Amino acid sequence: MEKLMFHPHGKEFHHNPFSVLGRFREEEPIHRFELKRFGATYPAWLITRYDDCMAFLKDNRITRDVKNVMNQEQIKMLNVSEDIDFVSDHMLAKDTPDHTRLRSLVHQAFTPRTIENLRGSIEQIAEQLLDEMEKENKADIMKSFASPLPFIVISELMGIPKEDRSQFQIWTNAMVDTSEGNRELTNQALREFKDYIAKLIHDRRIKPKDDLISKLVHAEENGSKLSEKELYSMLFLLVVAGLETTVNLLGSGTLALLQHKKECEKLKQQPEMIATAVEELLRYTSPVVMMANRWAIEDFTYKGHSIKRGDMIFIGIGSANRDPNFFENPEILNINRSPNRHISFGFGIHFCLGAPLARLEGHIAFKALLKRFPDIELAVAPDDIQWRKNVFLRGLESLPVSLSK
């Protein structure tokens, strides 16, 4: 039998990560592999079963902070140059007590009331985008709806001026590209993003506005405030993690509904099912297919496997969400599924702070889309659908549809 070996940058994983991860889940659920990145090799583990993923997400022998296991030279090889190292210094890359401090400060700008107050604005943005789509019989869901909706929402939330948004989108697209061949392009986008954000932060310190950047700049607890670098990191995290995962949910979720006509019809007839439908789309599509940037901080044994200090840990979210030992008929989309304890937003102290906003956008977007275009259909063969190149985030390049029969 051919020995299994995980290749995160391989074509097979890019085209169908669920199939690749599913094979590991069945045959080698705790898999050791060598991660080749930027000319260096790192020992790593791929975890694919639900119970094991949960165990590693909760294990305090696993750190999110690379500085706990690597020196500066190693970090530089793994990541990026010092002037843009804010990309690895955000809240998700911290353990307690640093994480607790950052989360409590950021939470002041992300209260449930703040999110709920966005409902009317999001509904209006969705309707305006659908108005534009209605002018044609065909559309690219990604270009016309799934990408612009969360982008406009996060831009307005952050206070990005309209005249800057096209450039802001260019930076965002470049920052999300994890392919090694585009490393310098990504780094340049990060530098320009940092310079731009620095100007906004400076402006908001002097003249606060009713936006997220102002709230983050002026957030304070027990005399503690976010540093300049922490502000860069938090806003980077919002744009990359918050924006792209919602884009992926809307795009891949629409594709899933169009490929499961009975479930799609059910949702059209019973729009009050939108909450359970969105949870199922989060499980089924896994917008974050893999969580990485975790390391063992000490040697330990797990189910007979010897894990060493410094080993990287890859959590196969997309596999855990389809584990037949935890979900009944996991390969089937079932918008009635309940309970639905997917881990698309992570678990524990690093549970996604933006989950309520992503859910709200999903509820509004899918309801509005199906109400406006009840006859929407795929306008391309499933095999011709293109996926973006990203090891961790599963998203579509485009999604051509016809809007009426």
List the binding residues.
352
Spatial separation of the C-alpha atoms in residues 165 and 181, rounded to whole Å? 26
The sign of the dihedral angle between the CA atoms of 92, 94, 99, 101 is negative
How far is CA 199 from its chain centroid?
26
Question: Which amino acid is it at 103?
Answer: R
> For residues 8 and 72, what is the distance between their CA atoms, to the nearest angstrom?
25
Q: Across the strands, what pairs with 47? A: 30, 315
* DSSP structural state of residue 68: G
Cα–Cα dist 300/92, whole Å: 23
| CB hemisphere CA count around 333 (13 angstroms) | 24
Cα of first residue to Cα of last residue in the chain, in angstroms, is 49
Backbone angles phi and psi of 353, in degrees to 5: -65, -30
Q: Cα(115)–Cα(151) distance, rounded to whole angstroms? A: 15
Q: Residues marked as binding for heme?
A: 352
Cα-based distances in Å from 25 to 18, 290, 308: 10, 14, 22
Q: Judge whether 8 and 389 are in contact, CB under 8 Å.
A: no
